Structures are given as C-alpha cells and as structure tokens.
Structure 1
C-alpha cells in the first residue's frame, strides 16, 4: 500500500537519496531552514522503500547509488500509482547531453549539477514544490471541470505559464526564449533578412543581493522587467525610428540575465537603437523598498547569420560580446566581432611577459600568517605569489594565475614558490622560529609524475624538515581522479608533509572517498565565511563542514576572515584556526619575520578580540 500524500497545507516532505552522507547532511541543513521535512535514503533500494512509506512531495536522486541507480529508481517511481506527478530531480556530476537526456527519459522533472550551489538549493526546491502543487491543483480542476470548456482552457493556460514563463517576473523563460529564437532564425532565413540577439546582464547585481538581501534583489529584477516590458513596446520603438523591426521578444534566462530577439533586421543601426533604448530604460533611478538605486546593463549583440546560424553559437557569441562590453566599462552595448581577438592578443603578450617574469626576478612571495585564536598563537603561514611588473606594477593574481594555468606556466611558478618558501621556512627555523609554510599545488602541477621528486629536492636543498611543509590543493583537484590521486597523496604524505584541501565546500567531495585520502586539514572556502555575519544558510554549511572534519579527525581552518563577528561565530562553532585580513594581510618575508617574532598578542586583531571579550 502507498501512503496518501500529505495535504498541501502541511509541511512539505522531501526525500533525499544519496550514498554520500556529506551531501545528505548539507541538503538536510539547507532544506530544513526552508521549513521542509527531510527524509533520507542511502541507496536505491532504501530510496524505493522510503518513497512507498512516505510518498514525499519531491525526490532528490543521486544518479550513482548502490543496488539501483537514480535512473532506475525514477522509472519505478513513475510507474507507481502516485508517482506520475511527483517532482524528481536528478543530482549528478555529469552535465553532458547524454546524461541529461537519460535523466529526462527516465522521467526526471529536472536535474541538478554537482558541485551544488547550496545558497540557492532551498529556493529552487521551494519553487519546484510550488510548481508541483500548482500542477496537482490544475489536474484536480481539470477532472472536476472537464465538462466546462472555458475552465479547461484556463487550466491549460496556467500549465503553459508554468512551462514557458518565469515565476518571478512573468517574462518568457529560457524554454520559450529558445523557441522564439529558433522561429526568428527560421523567419530571417526564409525572408533573406537578419535576426539579432541581445544578451543583457545587469552590472554588479550581486552587490545588491549581498548588501540588501535576495528578497530585495528579486524586487529589483521585477522592476527591471517592468521597465523593459513597458518601455520597449513596439509602438514606443516605432516613435524612435526603429521602423524596420516588426517583431521583438523579451525573456529572462535566469539570475540577472535577460534577452531580446529581433527579426526583420535590415541594418545593424536599428539593433543599436534598441540596445541604446534598453540601457536608457534600465539605467533610470528606481525606488525599491525606500532605496533609490541605479543599475546599469551591459549588452552583447550577435547577428544572424553573420555571428552564427544556430541558437548555441548566437548565444555564445552574444555572451562573449557582453563580457567585452563589461570589460570596456559597463553600461554599454557591444556587437560581436572577430576583432575581439585583440583581447586574445593582449593575453598572449601578457603570457610572454609572464614567461620572462621568473628569470627577470619580477615574482615575489608574500606570506600570510595563520592563527589559532583559542591558543593565541601563530600556527603557520601560506606562501602566495605576487607579480611586480616593471611597467604595470603589481599585477592582480586573479589576472595572471588563470593565464598561468591555461598556458602551463603555473608549473614553473609553483616550483619557484616552493623553493622560495622552503628556504624561508628553513631560515626561520635557524632563527628559532618553527613555522610551517603552506604552498599551493595547481591542478597541472599535481598531475606531473615528477611532483614528489621535485618536492623532495626543494626540501633537501633548503635543509627543511618535511613536517614544516604543507601542501594545499583544491577540492576539485583531489576528486578529479580518485584512484590515481589517492596514490599520489599517499606518496606525499609518506614524505612527512601535511596535506590540506583548499576551497572546501565548493566541490563535490564524497565522505567515503575523503575517508580514504591521507588528508590532514580542510580549509573552509572564503565564500561561506564572507556571509556568516548575516546568512544562516552559510553558517549551517560551515557547521556541517566542521562536524564532518571532526568526525574524520581532520583539522579545519577558515580562510577569508575579516571581522570580529566572523571570528566569534567560527570559534563558537568549533573552528579556532583562522586566516584572513582581520589578522594579517600577505606580506614580504621581512615583515612576516617581524610579525612572527612579535607574537600573536602583538597583532591589532588580538587586541580587538581582547577588548571585545572584556566588554
């Protein structure tokens, strides 16, 4: 017997099916904060049993599980008496087309790609629950009013709105956008004219979300949508000389991204007029919740057939042009052009200069102290590379590190930093300062077969004990090839070095795999630490990471700590090892030496904490 689903007025029930206890724990933490009851299953067989017992309102299914895969579980649910309309979301680390098609063929409502963006999971599940309940309401209405043609048409329209319109703004959604653009391309092809795609992205929209909250951000998006709908009507455009545009469709793709499709385009000047009108409309001051705000759009424009003859190529090129508009100062539009290769040439010049940077002694190592606030002492430093360009001054790591990774130069840079850091740690040791130094290992460097030998060489040349060297690598690097990486990490661990996982929480680590890896420490990513002052969801994720680390007997450290409040919340949650600007910025070796000699209590942050504690 199948249980009867709970009435819609009751607390919704979500079944979370995943063989990874870490994922289940984080999903429970996130969904329970949305006032959702969570039941769990660790494998496919248990998932079917729990579904039969509880008839949940929504199912989150991991694709790869023991006994039955997520696809098989979904197929069984769809065949059950009450399973036809239950939303089933596949959770998978594979986002290729074949995996997505397999999910939909098995009956999935949607899919969720790993790594999971935890901050929006609750909202997404809430949205699907609302849509599911609306869908069930419509079905009951259809059965009750099936003899009434007028009511039936209304219900069909409501279903169409759910499928083709954005729930927040009421604008056409991505599905309708794809169909509209396909029709625009077909029409332009038949008539021998052009079509245009305008890709609109709001500049620095994240700043509004971060400072005023997501509810405010949603209201701002609604206001922007209203501006576009009311001020870009065909009649309004015609009065401004755009008399060759006979069709226009507006859509919201998601987040702060909007699109406009134009057909019957005879010349690019007409498209430019529309883009200018969009910028003018959106850039007007708007009052939202008593705040007057000004938001500007950056617009990328791709023309059919010049810039592509299918949806994917047009969207990609319009997106490229949009980023080019942002790079030129935001609040402007940019047509896609092959001349954008000039940016690639600029990157090539920088790559060539970066190749010479090591030989020209332009690279520097900065050391950022790490502290234990409970024991009030330094526990080590992280070695960070800086580029002092002879013409441009200090080049941001955010600019040259991705370039170094793409070009392969990161291996040489990693090796240079490793040798510098080992010699500095050895120098400190000779001064009586025992200070472990952490160096970052890039993905490309980690895959090199001679990595272990190069680290041994650096330690030997610096006469540094391996116990004073910490190797940091990101979660995604470690999980990329678990069998091979387990062997590599074991070799590094057997040398006596310690292993730390950087940016933890942003990837898709499995608890079963983490138990097998010789990891000493996980570092909570700064993206979670940044928001714990005001975001309960991020605090819940941080607590889950701390709890997991404790269970696995790993040390845990938080990076990006910038405030007293963050320090207090992390320490209260059981994370006493911290790193961030609140304690010390990355500094040259000379100042790092002075800082270490002065001790923890000499830090301005230590004095602030002491004052806060006394108060």
Structure 2
C-alpha cells in the first residue's frame, strides 16, 4: 500500500471517526433532550396522579356523605311511612289512588279489615262502585267528575259495604294529581286522583241521632217544628220554581187537656201517638207531616192534591178519628179543628201562611161546641185577620200610653135590696167605634197583650177601691183575671204589691176566674187561689155553666162566689130548662157554702 493510499485511508478513517463522533454527540444531545422531555412528562404525570388522588378522595368523601344522607332520608321516609300507617290504623282509614286511564284503584292501609277487599292493587273501579250504597254512589260519581273536570277536592260521606256484610259510613276525601304517577300496570305519567277513606260510622251515626232528636218529636216520632220549618223552605222554593202551590192544614185536637185529666197522661200520650200513626196513613197524599206542639199537628199536601181534595181528605180524617181505641180498651171520639190555607195564595212566607191557617183554626174553634170542623182560609177570614191586626197595633199603643179606664156595674142583694159590691168593667175611651170591648179582650188574649193589660187593670182597680174607701164607700170590687195571667204571671205577687201600694183592705177585692181556667193545671191553679185566699182576697167563678163546668173542679178550688152565666138568666122567664138549671146551680152552691150572683139582671 502506498503512502498516498494510506493517507487516503487514514483521511477517510479520520472523517469517518469524526462523523461517528458528531453522530454520537448529536445522539447524546437528542437523548438528553428526550430524557429531559420524558422527565417533564413524568413530572406532569406525577402531578396529575396527585391531583387525581385528591379528586378521587374528594369524590369518595362526597359519595360517602350522599350515601349517608340517603340512608338518613330513607330512615326518615320509612319512619314517616310507619307513622302514616299508624295514623291510618288508628283512624280506621285507608288511602286510595284512582288511575283515570286504566280505571283502576289501588288501596293501601287496613283495606282487608275495613272493607274486606283483596287484592288491593289494580281493582276495577266499577267493582268498587258496587260496594257503595245505592243512595250515595251517584253523589260520589258527581264529585269525582267535578274533580276530574274542574280540579275540585272530593269530600263525600258514603255508606260502603264492610267485610261483615253491613254498610258503614266513611268519609271519602280526594284531590286530582298531575305528577308522574305510576299505575299498577307500569304506565308512567298517568292522571290520577289520590285520597283517603276514613271510617266515620260511629261519629256519623251519633250526628244523625243528634239531628233526629233535634228535628223529631220524641213522643210520636214525627218531625217537629224545627224540621217542618226547614222542609217548608225547600217545598216553598220548589213550588215557586214550578208555579204549583200546595195546601197546608193545621190540626188542633180540641179539649185535649180534658183527655189528660180524665184518663191520665199515659193514655193521653198514647192518643197523641195513635193520632200521629193515623196521619202517617195519609202519606200517599202528603209531602210532610209534623207535630208543632202539644196537640197541634201540621200537614203539607203534595202539589198534585187540589185544595178541594185536601179538604175532603181532612173530612175523612175527622170521620176516622170520630172513634179511636184507647190503651185501656175504651173508645174515644177525638174532636178536631182544622184550618187550611194555600201557598203562596194565602201566604207567600212561612209566617204569613201560618197566620192564615191559625186564623182559619180560630174560626173553627168558635164552632167546636158542635164537634169537629174544617175551615178553609178565605177573604172574610182575611178581613177579620187584618181587623185583629189593627186592634192589636192600636192596643199596643194604648197600653204604652195607659189609655184605659174602668166602669163599675153594681151588684145588688135581692134579700136586703141593697148595693153590696160592683164589678170593674174594662173601658177604652179612645177605642175605634167599629170595635167592641169583647173583641178587644179576645185580641188581647190571643196576642198575649192581656198580660200587660191585666197588670194595668189590677193597678187601676186598686186605685179606684182606694178612692172609694176615702169617700166612705166600703164595698167590694171584683176584677176579671185571665187564665193566661195565671199561667205566665205571679198573680199573688202582683196583687200583694198593689195592696201595699194603695193601702187597701184585701177583703174589698174579689178575683173572678172563668171556667177556661180548668184547662190549665188545676192543682197549680188551686195553689195560686189558696195563696190569694190567705191574703184575704175572695175568689169567684165567672160565667159558670158556659164552658168547662165540673163539680170536681169546683170542689178543688177555694172559691167564695159563683156567677151564673147570663145566657141562663136571659131565658129564665121563658124556658123551664133554664129555670131548672139556675135553680140547681143555686141549690148546689148554697149547699157548698158559696154565694150566688146572677149575671145580666138589669131591672
């Protein structure tokens, strides 16, 4: 190998080595750069892992917190469910959900024990409706439809067939729900009605019993005045809407007190019950029958019963009651007074109609001595009613102004032919000339104004007695006291007060009572009259023989005088009958130690 070749080879080798050295240096630089880059990446990965650990720890802690919260909420929800179930059990209630689309009902709670229903989910609504009482199902369906159409809450009392086979009262509440409910068949967002069904049987039965007692007469079982007034409002409204009136009949049993006094209260109560049963027998023709008071009943006839037909039915009732069997086996004829009036012709309100029937009854009462009567309200009665109204209004004003006076009718002794006393007669100087004193007194009796009027008469009588005594006239004065005063006022106290105020000798006063007083509690009346006797006041029976005369009653009362009714005295000169009656009364009275006064002897 030549020197040049060697040099060329060495030059080549040196260049090659240089290139390899450069390449190795470049590789080392690249490796170092890549190592640096890899280190950076590794550092970033380390930092990312550290952050991830923090995030994982944080998320793990949050998950644990959420899990704990869910567990607490679940416990609270379970406690709430348990409390709700306990409340439902205590309240004897179940909850229900009506799926509108599927027409099914789900029930939760004591359904088996309360209703005897199994299963409790997916029950066809029609099957449940069959368990509702027929009188209540239509109303429940109406409320359910209103809830679906208008969103109104359901609140309905219904009778539902219970597991023991009898109907029990339940309160059904419910509201329309639009949240995402899930039906028993899995469908979501189904429109539903959710509610409760609470057993209210005992409470509702108690309420019904309280209502029955408040609205029915305990003796006869008929509706009472309170129920009658409520029912009248309903019937009157229906009548005005339809344009068809109805006839009302007020029935009064004449002289019922006599039945109690003769047969006793047990038999009397039996008569009232039997008469109520008789009225029930006319239910085909009547809308309502009620007992208003002791011996007063009222009947509302159906719209399709004409007034003349109602009158015929009342006559039939009179005939039916002409002979009734008592509990003791005896037969009794009931005397009835009936007043009929038509709504709205004879009265467009309850008060006006009742005034009309009472006016008709009052007309019938005037004829009760001839037996039962049935009077239809008419124009003549209406005129008389307004006449009585005018008298009543004028009388009220006169009582306030004390516009009355007394006249005195002398009472003579036929043996000594001298003036022994007088009767104080009520006078009203400013009275309308169309009226007479007796009808004024009758209106005062019927309206209760006799109480205030009677007090004024007592006061005036004592004032007159005092004046006569000061003038040297020592004669007794008799005053009439109404049975109503004995019933509602303390007569002994009124007279005692007047005696003291006017310093009058009590023997100068004679209290006259009519035979109508026998219709009241005779024992109580005897006690009151005995109190007057102890005070020194004398007592007389006025118009003896005109009304409810009874020797037994006369014996029971502490009386001093008997005044024979003017009707007998008027006929003494022309009829042997009246002569015999008058003589018999005189003999009886003298034998019992009573003085006798003949009324109406003018000459």
TM-score range with shorter-chain normalisation?
0.3 to 0.5
What is the TM-score normalised by the length of structure 1? 0.45
What is the TM-score normalised by the length of structure 2? 0.46
Q: Choose between structure 1 and 2 for higher RCO, CA contacts under 8 A separated by at least 6 residues.
A: 1
